[in-house]
Amino acid sequence: MRSHYCGQVNESLIGQEVSVAGWVHRRRDHGGVIFVDLRDREGLLQVVFDPDRKEVFQNAERLRSEFCVHITGKVRARPSGTANANLASGQIEVLAHELEILNRSETPPFHHDEATNEELRLKYRYIDLRRDVMQQRLRLRHKVTRAMRAFLDENGFIDVETPMLTKATPEGARDYLVPSRTHPGHFFALPQSPQLFKQLLMMSGFDRYYQIVKCFRDEDLRADRQPEFTQLDIETSFMNEAEITGLMEKLARYLFKAAINVDLPDPFPRMTYEEAMRRYGSDKPDLRIPLELVDIADLVKDCEFKVFAGPASSADGRVAALRVPEGGTKLSRKQIDDYTPFVGRYGAKGLAYVKVNEKAKGRDGLQSPILKFLSDAAVSGILERTGAQDGELIFFGADKAKVVNDALGALRLKVGQDLGLVANAWRPLWVVNFPMFEWDADAKRWGAMHHPFTAPREPDPSTLKADPANAVSQGYDMVLNGSEIGGGSVRIHRAEMQSAVFDLLGIGPEEQIRKFGFLLEALKFGTPPHGGIAFGLDRLVMLMAGADSIRDVIAFPKTQTAADLMTDAPTTVSEQQLKELHVRVKLPVKAAD
Amino acid sequence: MRSHYCGQVNESLIGQEVSVAGWVHRRRDHGGVIFVDLRDREGLLQVVFDPDRKEVFQNAERLRSEFCVHITGKVRARPSGTANANLASGQIEVLAHELEILNRSETPPFHHDEATNEELRLKYRYIDLRRDVMQQRLRLRHKVTRAMRAFLDENGFIDVETPMLTKATPEGARDYLVPSRTHPGHFFALPQSPQLFKQLLMMSGFDRYYQIVKCFRDEDLRADRQPEFTQLDIETSFMNEAEITGLMEKLARYLFKAAINVDLPDPFPRMTYEEAMRRYGSDKPDLRIPLELVDIADLVKDCEFKVFAGPASSADGRVAALRVPEGGTKLSRKQIDDYTPFVGRYGAKGLAYVKVNEKAKGRDGLQSPILKFLSDAAVSGILERTGAQDGELIFFGADKAKVVNDALGALRLKVGQDLGLVANAWRPLWVVNFPMFEWDADAKRWGAMHHPFTAPREPDPSTLKADPANAVSQGYDMVLNGSEIGGGSVRIHRAEMQSAVFDLLGIGPEEQIRKFGFLLEALKFGTPPHGGIAFGLDRLVMLMAGADSIRDVIAFPKTQTAADLMTDAPTTVSEQQLKELHVRVKLPVKAAD
C-alpha cells in the first residue's frame, strides 16, 4: 500500500510519485489550499491538496484529525521560505493525486501535544501510544532487549523459557495464585522470578542461561512498581563472583553504548554494603550527588543532649551528620523547616541542624537550636570532621541506625535535587558484601537479605550457623544513579549448606521438603558452582529514556491499584467459571458488621 | 575456571595445558589407569588419570558418574588405534595434573543412554535435560527464536510486550483466572493470545509488531497440548492478505534455512478450505502423503445401499472414496479390519472397501461385502473416477460430511504411514478462504471459525448479515506436513463491521460493551487496515527437531493433567493467602452425596 514511510520521504525523491499511508496529524487550510501533516511511525510529511484537482480536493475537505488515509502523489520541493528544518521531510511536500480515506475518526479525547492526566492516557492508551514520545520509548525498549540478546547470544548464553504456572515459593512478596481445574483445591503461583528453574538449568549443564521474562508480585504498588514486570534473568556455571560481575558490567556497558550511545566506566567501582550505608545511608547510593554522611557518635555520646547521647551509646543506634555546601546561603528557612516532616516519613522524630555563618567566631558564628546542648569539644569535633565551611549547613540524624540511614539517605537525595547538585552523568557501581541475614524483630528470627539460595562467603555450614549475625553473602547489586538495576549472587550449590541456611531462616525439615524438596533432591546429583543476576528491564529502560515512571515504558501498564483502565480488568466472572475451578468468592466483611 | 569447553579440545591443542569443568559421564578402569569421559554442554573429553601421579590418581578413584569436577591437564594424542572418530575430541585425551571435585553425585535415577518412562524423566527433569538430545532440542529452540527475531528486526517489526494479567476474552477455550486482591471478587485472566492488544498496537500506529509470548488455555490436554504454550505473535498495518502471507512464508523459509538448513518451496502453494476438505478431508492436509479423497455421491445416490444412498442425497452428507495403491496386496486382512474401530473414533459407523483384484474381469475381479448392493454403473463409475488399478484397494466413507472428512482424513494419514507412503520432505501450504461462521447445532447459533475479529471478504455489513452461511473470511493457516504451524487473518477495522459480526455470533449489545467496549471505542479513532498471524513455537520446534511431543522441546513441561511432576505444582495454599484474595476453596461434591 505504501512505497515509503512518511518520515522517509525527502529531497532525493523530488519529481517521483510516492504512496504513503497514515494519520492526519494536523490539517490547515491556507489560501484555498488544504495542507495535511500526515503521520506514521517514522515521522511527518506535508501533503498538499490543490483545488485544481477537484475530486481529490473535495475528498480532502472531509479530512479531520486522526483520519486514517492512503495518499498517492508527487514529491516536490517546498516553496522557498516554507521549509521546516525540524523535519526529515521538511524540505519537500507531496502534491496529492489520489486520496483514499481508510477510516474516519471521532475527535480524540486528547491531542498529541496536550498534557493530560494519566488516568485519561491509560484509558485511551491506544491514543496515548500514538504520541511520538511514547513510540520512541517503546522502540528504545526494543533496542535495549535486542542489544541484550546480541551480547548474550554472542557470549554463549542460551535463551530457555521457564514456566509461568509454577509452585508458590517464598521470594519475599505475595504470590499471584491461579486455581487449578484439574486438581481441585490446588493452586499454581505466577513466578516472582525463575530463580529455582534457572538454578535447575545449571544443574542440567546448560552452563549459561538467559531469559527476558515476565515476573509477578502482588504487592501494594509504589510509584515505580507494577504487578507484572519484566526482568532479564541470567545464570552461569563455573564462574566466581568477580567473573560474573565482570561479565555483567560488560553487558551493561554494551547496552548503554548500543541503546543510547553512552560510555559507562570500565570497570565499575565496587563498594561494600557497610561503606554504602555509612557514607550514603543507602545500599543503592546515587553517586551523582556529592553529599556524604559522617559518623559523629563518638563526639556526642557523653553530651547532655539525650537525643544524640542515647543513640550514640546504643549498639543499634547511629548519630550522623550531613554537610551541605551552600546550604546555609541557598536553602530558605521554609525549605529547612519542610525537611522535618520529610525525614519524619522515614521515622525520624526531628531534624537538627547547625548553620555555619562564621566559623572563625567559634560558637558565636554558628546558628542552631541544639548548640546549647553541645560541649565545645563536640562542636569543634563536628566542624572538623564534617569539614564544614562558612555558609554551609550541617543536618543531623540520631536514632536507630535504620532510621538515620533511611532519613538522612533520603534527605541527601532531596537536598541534592533542591540545590541542583545532581551531576548530569551516569554513575554505576557494584554494592557487594551484603549481610546474609537480617534480624526480624517482630518474627524473632533471621530473614534472608537477598533470598535463601544466596551463598555465604563462609564455606563451612557449621561455622555459618555459629555466627549468622556476621555472615556476609556473595550477593551483588548493580546500582545506577540511585536505582538498583540488577541484583544477583553466587548460589549455594551444596545440599548441606542449603539445609543450614534453611535452618537458620527457621524453615523446618518438613517445610524444607514440602517447599524445596525438588531443589534439595537436585543438589544431590553433582550441582556445579553457579551464580547469576536479574536486571529490571522496566527500570533500566525508564532510566535510559529519562522517563519519570516505569508506566511510561510499558505499553499497557496497570494503575497503582493493579487495574487496567483500558480493558477494565480485573472483572467479575461467572459462577460457572468459578465452579469449574473449585473456588467461590468470599467478599471481605465490613468492620461494622 | 575453564580454558575450554570439553567438546572444543582437539588436536590443535596437543602439548598445551587446558582447564576443563563438567560431569563424569563414564569412568573406566583399564590396565591400572582411570579413564573418565568428561562431559559439558559442548561434548565429551577423555581424561586419563595415571597412577604415577599418586595424589591426583587417589582423588580420581573417588569419582563416580555425574560427579562435577574441575580438571587441569595436558592435551596429548591418543595412542594409535584408540582414536574415536565420533567425537570432535576423539583424536586426543587429557592427562590430568589436577583434579578438584566440585560436587559429588548420588547414583542418578536413570542413565543418559537409557530409555526410561516419561514420568521419571519429568520428575527428574534436571537429569533428563543433561542428555545430549535434550540439550540439542532446547538449543535448536533458541536458534529458531533467534532467527525469528533476526528476520523480524530486519523487516522493521517492533517487539512490544503485552500484559499477562488481562481481561477474560472468549477465544474459544477456558481461561486461567487469577483472583485480584485489590479488587475483591474480581479476576484477571491469563491471555489465550495477545489478540486485542496487538490490534490496539496497530491502532496506535506501531505498524509492525511482534512478540514471542506465553499464552494459556485451560483445556483438557491432548497429546500435543500444554496449558501454557509459546507463540510468535505478529501484526501488521496497511498490508493485504497476499502481502501478509507473502512476508510470512518468507519468514518461514528464513527460519528453516537458518535453523535446520532446509529450503522450503517459494512460493508456498495455496489451497482453499473447500478444496482441502474435498481432497484431504482436513483443513491441515499432509501433502507428503499422495492419497486423496474422491466424491462419489452422484454415482450412488440412487443405489439400494441405504448407507451410501442416504448421505449421498442429504444436503449435509458426503460419500467419498479413498484409493490406496498397493492397498490390495500390502495391507493384511487384520490391518483392514483394525481400520474399522480406528475410523469409529471419528464417528464413522463402519468402513466399507473394495479390493481390486483383476479389473478386467469386472465385478468378478473385485472383492467386497458391499458389491452386491451396487449397480454396474455405480461400480464402473467408482473404478473410473478413482482410477483404481489391479492390486489396489478403495475405502469408502458415507455419513454427515464432518464424519466422512474426519474419518477418511485420519484414515488417509494412518494408511499413508502404514504403507510407508509418507515422503521424506517438507510440504508447506497456505489454506485460505475459510468460512466465516460454523453453525453450532447445540447452541443453535453461529460460531466464529477463526475468532470474532477476523474480517470477511464481504465489505458490506448488511450483505454479510443476509447470508452468513456463505460468508468467506480473510483468514489463512500455514500448514506443514499435516500440522497447522501458523494461523491468522486480516482483521475487521471498522466498528460497524465488528458490531455486525458480534451480532451474528449472538453477542448482544450489552455484552459487546461489557466485553469489548474498549475495542469498539478504539475502532472509532481511525483504525488502520491490519492483519497478522501467530505461529505455535512449540509445535514448530518439535517438527524441526523431529521430536514426538512438544514436551520434548519445552524445558519444564506439564503432564496431561497439567501438573509439574518435578516441583509438585499445583499445591494447596494457606487459608490466609486465600482470604487475602477473597476466595475460598469449594471442593466438588461426589455424585453419591
Instruction: Please tell me the distance in Å from B424's CA to the nearest CA on chain A.
Output: 30
Average pLDDT over residues A40-67: 97
Judge: A586–B572 Cβ closer than 8 Å, yes or no. no
* Alpha-carbon span B22 to A118, nearest angstrom: 53
Judge: A524–B188 Cβ closer than 8 Å, yes or no. no
Judge: B41–A524 Cβ closer than 8 Å, yes or no. no
Among B353, B430, B340, B435, residue whose Cα is nearest residue B386: B353
Which of A42, A111, A182 would best serve as a mutation to test chain B binding (most B beta carbons within 10 A)? Answer: A182
* Alpha-carbon span B332 to B329, nearest angstrom: 8
Q: Evaluate the omega torsion of the peptide bond into residue A461 and state whether it is cis, within 30 degrees of 0.
A: no
* Rounded (10°) angle between helices A537-545 and A132-154: 120
Q: Is the pLDDT of residue A592 over 60?
A: no
Residues with Cβ within 8 Å of A514's Cβ and at least 6 positions away in sequence, in order, are none
Predicted pLDDT at A158: 98
Chain A contacts in chain B segment 99-118 (CB below 8 A): 102-106, 108
Count Cβ–Cβ pairs < 8 Å, chain A vs chain B: 353
- Higher-pLDDT residue of B297 and A304 is B297
Among A161, A185, A126, A110, residue whose Cα is nearest residue B589: A185
Residue listed under C-alpha cell 509445535: B539
* Alpha-carbon span A272 to A277, nearest angstrom: 9
Predicted pLDDT at A572: 92
Average pLDDT over residues B430-459: 93
Q: Which chain A residues contact residue B160 at CB under 8 A?
A: 138, 141-142, 555
Over the stretch A90-103, which tens digit does the pLDDT of each residue have?
999 999 999 999 99
* Alpha-carbon span A92 to A174, nearest angstrom: 57
Q: Is the pLDDT of residue B508 over 70?
A: yes
* Alpha-carbon span A306 to A313, nearest angstrom: 10
Over the stretch A453-502, which tens digit does the pLDDT of each residue have?
999 999 999 999 999 999 999 999 999 999 999 999 999 999 999 999 99
Predicted pLDDT at A593: 45
Q: Is the pLDDT of residue A50 over 60?
A: yes
Percentage of chain B exceeding pLDDT 70: 98
Percentage of chain A exceeding pLDDT 70: 98
* 3-class SS string, B342-362: HHHCCCCCCCEEEEECCHHHH
Which string of DSSP letters, residue by residue, matches A340-353? HHHHHTTT-S--EE
Number of residues in chain A: 593
pLDDT band, residue B485 (cuts 50/70/90)? very high
Is residue A153 exposed (0-12), middle (13-18) or buried (19+ Cβ within 10 Å)? middle
Q: Which chain A residues contact residue B528 at CB under 8 A?
A: 21, 68, 102-103
Predicted pLDDT at A170: 55
Q: Which chain A residues contact residue B40 at CB under 8 A?
A: 205, 207
Cell numbers placing B322:
479413498
Average pLDDT over residues A579-588: 92
Predicted pLDDT at B116: 80
* Alpha-carbon span B55 to A55, nearest angstrom: 95
* 3-class SS string, A8-45: HCCHHHCCCEEEEEEEEEEEEEECCEEEEEEEECCEEE
Sign of the torsion formed by the C-alpha atoms of B534, B540, B542 and B548: positive
pTM: 0.96
Is residue A197 within 8 A of residue B555, CB to CB? The reply is: yes
User: Which residue in chain B has the smallest CA separation from A106?
Assistant: B525
DSSP E strands in B401-521: the ranges are 428-432, 437-440, 445-448, 475-480, 483-490
Instruction: Please tell me the distance in Å from B225's CA to the nearest CA on chain A.
Output: 15
Predicted pLDDT at B170: 55
Our measurement of the distance from residue B273's CA atom to the centroid of its chain's CA atoms, rounded to an integer in Å, reads 20
Sign of the torsion formed by the C-alpha atoms of B178, B182, B186 and B189: negative
Cβ neighbour number for residue A589 with a 10 Å cutoff: 7
pLDDT band, residue B437 (cuts 50/70/90)? very high
Judge: B162–A566 Cβ closer than 8 Å, yes or no. no
Over the stretch B548-592, which tens digit does the pLDDT of each residue have?
999 999 999 999 899 999 999 999 999 999 999 999 999 877 655
User: Which residue in chain B has the smallest CA separation from A496?
Assistant: B103
User: What is the amino acid identity at position B558?
Assistant: K
Q: Locate all alpha helices (DSSP H) within B25-112, ordered by sequence.
A: 54-60
* Alpha-carbon span A16 to B293, nearest angstrom: 53
Average pLDDT over residues B289-311: 95
Q: Which chain A residues contact residue B216 at CB under 8 A?
A: 164-165
Q: Write the residue in B168, B204, B243 that is nearest to A130 by C-beta.
A: B204
Cell numbers placing B62:
573417588
Number of residues in chain B: 593
Q: Write the residue in A126, A163, A588 that is nearest to B203 by C-beta.
A: A126
Judge: A583–B585 Cβ closer than 8 Å, yes or no. yes
Judge: A138–B206 Cβ closer than 8 Å, yes or no. yes
Chain B contacts in chain A segment 516-545 (CB below 8 A): 517-518, 522, 524-529
pLDDT band, residue A224 (cuts 50/70/90)? confident
Residue A49, SS3? strand
Over the stretch A501-517, which tens digit does the pLDDT of each residue have?
999 999 999 999 988 99
CATH 2.40.50.140 in chain B is located at 6-103
Q: Is the pLDDT of residue A589 over 80?
A: no
Predicted pLDDT at A309: 95
Whether A562 has its CB under 8 Å from any CB of chain B: the answer is: yes
Predicted pLDDT at B593: 45
* Alpha-carbon span B489 to B477, nearest angstrom: 8
Is residue B133 exposed (0-12), middle (13-18) or buried (19+ Cβ within 10 Å)? exposed
Average pLDDT over residues A145-156: 98
ipTM: 0.95
Instruction: Please tell me the distance in Å from B531's CA to the nearest CA on chain A.
Output: 13
Average pLDDT, chain B: 95
Judge: A569–B22 Cβ closer than 8 Å, yes or no. no
CATH 3.30.1360.30 in chain B is located at 289-422
Chain A contacts in chain B segment 318-357 (CB below 8 A): none
Whether A574 has its CB under 8 Å from any CB of chain B: the answer is: no
Sign of the torsion formed by the C-alpha atoms of B18, B22, B26 and B28: positive
Average pLDDT over residues A119-141: 96
* Alpha-carbon span A551 to B399, nearest angstrom: 57
Over the stretch B510-550, which tens digit does the pLDDT of each residue have?
999 988 999 999 999 999 999 999 999 999 999 999 999 99
Cell numbers placing B337:
479390519
Cα dihedral B21/B25/B27/B33 (nearest 10): -40
Q: Residue B456 gets which letter from DSSP?
A: B
Judge: A167–B570 Cβ closer than 8 Å, yes or no. yes
Residues with Cβ within 8 Å of A310's Cβ and at least 6 positions away in sequence, in order, are A317, A398
Instruction: Please tell me the distance in Å from A378's CA to the nearest CA on chain B.
Output: 52
pLDDT band, residue B61 (cuts 50/70/90)? very high
Cell numbers placing B3:
580454558
Q: Is the pLDDT of residue B86 over 50?
A: yes
* Alpha-carbon span A131 to A134, nearest angstrom: 5
Percentage of chain B exceeding pLDDT 90: 89
Over the stretch A308-331, which tens digit does the pLDDT of each residue have?
999 999 999 999 999 999 999 999
Q: Is A460 annotated as a binding residue?
A: no
Over the stretch A70-90, which tens digit does the pLDDT of each residue have?
999 999 999 989 999 888 899
Residues with Cβ within 8 Å of A126's Cβ and at least 6 positions away in sequence, in order, are A566, B200, B201, B203, B204, B522, B525
Q: Is the pLDDT of residue B171 over 60?
A: no
Q: Which chain A residues contact residue B164 at CB under 8 A?
A: 164, 190, 214, 216, 228
What do you get for the CA distance between the two ends of chain A, in Å? Answer: 64
| Homologous superfamily in CATH for domain A289-422 | GAD-like domain (3.30.1360.30)
Which of A71, A105, A518, A565 would best serve as a mutation to test chain B binding (most B beta carbons within 10 A)? Answer: A518
Q: Is the pLDDT of residue A282 over 80?
A: yes
Among B420, B442, B433, B515, residue whose Cα is nearest residue B471: B433
Over the stretch A390-400, which tens digit does the pLDDT of each residue have?
999 999 999 99
Q: Which chain A residues contact residue B238 at CB under 8 A?
A: 1-2, 21, 70
pLDDT band, residue B218 (cuts 50/70/90)? very high
Cell numbers placing B176:
486461567
Which of A64, A68, A106 would best serve as a mutation to test chain B binding (most B beta carbons within 10 A)? Answer: A68
Q: Which chain A residues contact residue B196 at CB under 8 A?
A: 567
Alpha carbon separation from B226 to A349, A480, B252, B326 (Å, rounded): 56, 40, 23, 39
Q: Is the pLDDT of residue A223 over 70?
A: no
Chain A contacts in chain B segment 2-21 (CB below 8 A): 2, 5, 21
Domain A6-103 adopts which CATH fold? OB fold (Dihydrolipoamide Acetyltransferase, E2P) (2.40.50)
